[in-house]
Structure 1
Amino acid sequence: MTRASKTPRLRAPAPTRSVRTSTAPRRLPLLAAVLALVAVVATGCVRFPAEESPPPTATADPLVLPGVQTDVPIEPPPSSEACNATQTLRPPAEMPEPARMPPGSTMAEIFERGRLIVGLDIGSNLFSFRDPISGDIEGFDVDIAHAIAEAIFGDPQRVEFQVLSSAERVDALRDHTVDVVIKTMSITCDRLDDISFSAPYYVASQRILAFRNSDIRGPAQLAGKRVCAARGATSIGRMQSIQPKVEMVTTSTWADCLVLMQQGQVDAVTSDDAILAGLAAQDPWVQVVGPSLGEEFYGVGIPKGEDDMVRFVNGVLEELRATGRWQEIRNRWLSILDSGYGAPQPSYRD
């Protein structure tokens, strides 16, 4: 497809979709959880309650959350191996200097606009969340976004964030509402039918979040239990395939899953270990349990056909790995995890 035949790029988004227009906290019941996260960031540790103390139980008047779905259909488990999904395009032999993007390129269009528009959410603590004190959006994914903006503009702050649910990510790229999506987005064969991906920038492992005093230690104990996941996440299909008797509940955000768990409306949450670690950092009553249920390779989502942008982002990721900045980003946000895969190594198909 020639650049002239592409869908016109980036119509101005509706103001309500911009993070900048939504500065108030989303819901008061999470205030204590947010303050707990602040303590973790500041001290690097969490004080857990005594063993004999009971966890929160179901509330008489639970908070009604929008978008909760209980009749979740069976989904296929995610697949990345059948199509070699993690293989990607090689970076350019020489990366362009910041503020000197190749004429006619996707990056030049972004530069002319003056900002990189990034789709993410603010409910994935440690990856993308709003700091309750400064109001800034921070996290692992946010730092990746700043690195791409710095490579284009020479200024890492030239970023506009658009809040997306997990289910909205692919549509936002197809509609050119955003330039890229950086939102703990797993690279799968199904998604490659609609969008493109960078090389993996993080490898996660799907696990389970449960109450500390529960008997849940793995998927075997989830038969007949209600388990939450964000709508559109690959963890849904994998959990249904591993434990067919599970009762999945879906919400718009991972933060909503934690609220449902705190209210006693679900028994557990399943997602990638890094996302679950962010939830556990907010609530000392819960913990990440069980073995790995499968690996997830996070990639930067890019509109299909923008191969120049794929190569450019892969060049940014190469630089982050080579200079040690990737490890610095991981150490800053994910030191709460007791293990890690390190920076994933790319596999190029050309």
Structure 2
Amino acid sequence: MSRLVCPTAPRDRSARGRRLVLAVLSGLVVCAACAACVQFPAPESPAPVAFAVRPTPTGAETDVPHEPAPSTDSCNATASLRPGPMPEPAQMPTGSTMAGILGHGRLIVGLDIGSNLFSFRDPMTGDVQGFDVDIARAIAQAIFDNPTSVEYRVLSSAERTAALKNHTVDVVVKTMSITCDRLQDVAFSAPYFVASQRILATRDSGITGVADLAGKRVCAARGATSIGRLQQLQPRARMVSTITWADCLVMLQQKQVDAVSTDDAILAGLAEQDPWVELVGPRLSDEYYGVGIPKGEDDMVRFVNGVLDQFRVSGAWQRSYDRWLSIMGPTNGPPLPVYRD
């Protein structure tokens, strides 16, 4: 390989010297140009490394300790207080719980805006809608003569009881199952809906029932009664808890859990969002949803039961079911109330 050497300029100031200087300068230009043209091989770069991290939803917990299964039989949990005479809207009895709610101008309702079909935010309008929302609006209509006099407080399943005990909400209408344990801390209306616990899995999972959940990761929202019941039915299931049911769906889609188990009404809302998941297996239990009310507010329990009676008899219950829950198939209608007085 030839090499270009750049000469040093001589100091002769004669004509001959000037010619030499010009020659030297020309050589320097050539040297510079040549240097610019020399290409050295670039160092080898390491091969690119790509990997995907599946983020775990905030607040998710794995290997949830065993919880007691919920009970409804030992205390006749679904029996409630008989409705009293219904006052005219906006004319609540003086000193009553309803009069206090009327006085502060709005019904404060605890619910979840991530429970598709029961309570969710419409992405187009921003309005909170669903079956539970229709129940809340019926209570507001009976108190204020205005179904929109409602303030919604978003609660996780685990926060419902505390919100009622602390009186940060007037009622909870959030797929809340009536159980003997919960009745120690809060009061309930008569049931307004009956759901059944089932299993949600991907279509290629091979899971067909509770027996197939041995050693599998099963998701449920923290505070749900479905955790204790599933642990009773399948002690070898590895329970994973999240803050919301939507988080369970995300973990199922990302293969971080193998199944989700809770009420079929909630699972149907998750399945509607993803065609690759399905409800499998027989019903595992019956879940009776009631309106949660602070303990000791018997007048409010009777009032809400009166509202629910009107909701059933007027056909509003069936219209709400047809609008939001028809994906679950035909219904035998609303549950009939049982009163203990």
- Normalising by structure 2, report the TM-score: 0.84
Q: Does 1:288 align with 2:279?
A: yes
CA distance in 1, matches of 2:183, 2:52: 44
2:287 match: secondary structure: strand
User: 1:129 aligns to what?
Assistant: 120
User: 1:21 aligns to what?
Assistant: none
Give 2:82's aligned amino acid. Answer: R
Q: Deviations over 1:185-228 (max 9, x none)?
A: 00000000000000000000000001112210110111000000
Question: How far off is 1:342 after superposition?
Answer: 2.0
Correspondence for 2:62 among 64, 67, 70: 70
Q: Deviations over 1:143-166 (max 9, x none)?
A: 100000000000000000000000
Q: Does 1:210 align with 2:201?
A: yes
CA distance in 2, matches of 1:200, 1:77: 20
Q: Deviations over 1:227-260 (max 9, x none)?
A: 0000000000110000110000000000000011
Correspondence for 1:270 among 247, 261, 266: 261
Question: How far off is 1:341 after superposition?
Answer: 4.4
* Unaligned stretches of 5+ residues in structure 2: 1-50
Map of 1:80-91 to 2, 5 A cutoff? 80-91=72-83
Map of 1:37-116 to 2, 5 A cutoff? 60-92=52-84, 94-116=85-107
2:301 match: secondary structure: helix
Question: How far off is 1:98 after superposition?
Answer: 0.3
CA distance in 2, matches of 1:65, 1:204: 26
Q: Does 1:307 align with 2:298?
A: yes
Contact kept, 8 Å, 2:56 with 2:251, in 1: the verdict is no
CA distance in 1, matches of 2:275, 2:289: 27
User: 1:335 aligns to what?
Assistant: 326
Q: Deviations over 1:105-148 (max 9, x none)?
A: 00000001000000001111000111111111111001100000
CA distance in 2, matches of 1:71, 1:226: 8
Question: How far off is 1:64 after superposition?
Answer: 3.1
CA distance in 2, matches of 1:97, 1:65: 47
Give 1:269's aligned amino acid. Answer: V
Contact kept, 8 Å, 1:203 with 1:341, in 2: the verdict is no
User: 1:119 aligns to what?
Assistant: 110
Q: Deviations over 1:83-114 (max 9, x none)?
A: 0000110001x200000000000000000100
Contact kept, 8 Å, 2:195 with 2:264, in 1: the verdict is yes
2:195 match: secondary structure: strand
Question: How far off is 1:65 after superposition?
Answer: 1.5
Greater Rg over alpha carbons, structure: 2
User: 1:191 aligns to what?
Assistant: 182
Question: How far off is 1:339 after superposition?
Answer: 4.2
- Normalising by structure 1, report the TM-score: 0.82
Q: Does 1:349 align with 2:328?
A: no
CA distance in 1, matches of 2:288, 2:215: 29
Q: Deviations over 1:19-59 (max 9, x none)?
A: xxxxxxxxxxxxxxxxxxxxxxxxxxxxxxxxxxxxxxxx9
CA distance in 2, matches of 1:222, 1:255: 21
Report runs of 4+ in structure 1 exceeding 6 Å deviation: none
Give 2:183's aligned amino acid. Answer: L
Give 2:172's aligned amino acid. Answer: V
CA distance in 1, matches of 2:204, 2:332: 29
Q: Does 1:232 align with 2:203?
A: no
2:108 match: secondary structure: strand
1:208 match: secondary structure: strand
**Highest relative contact order (Cα 8 Å, sep 6+), 1 or 2?**
1
Contact kept, 8 Å, 1:118 with 1:181, in 2: the verdict is yes
Give 2:90's aligned amino acid. Answer: A
Percent identity reads 69
2:236 match: secondary structure: coil
CA distance in 2, matches of 1:159, 1:296: 26
User: 1:4 aligns to what?
Assistant: none
Give 2:62's aligned amino acid. Answer: T
Question: How far off is 1:340 after superposition?
Answer: 3.3
Aligned length: 291
Give 1:73's aligned amino acid. Answer: P
CA distance in 2, matches of 1:225, 1:90: 44
Question: How far off is 1:61 after superposition?
Answer: 1.2
CA distance in 1, matches of 2:281, 2:330: 14
CA distance in 2, matches of 1:235, 1:99: 39
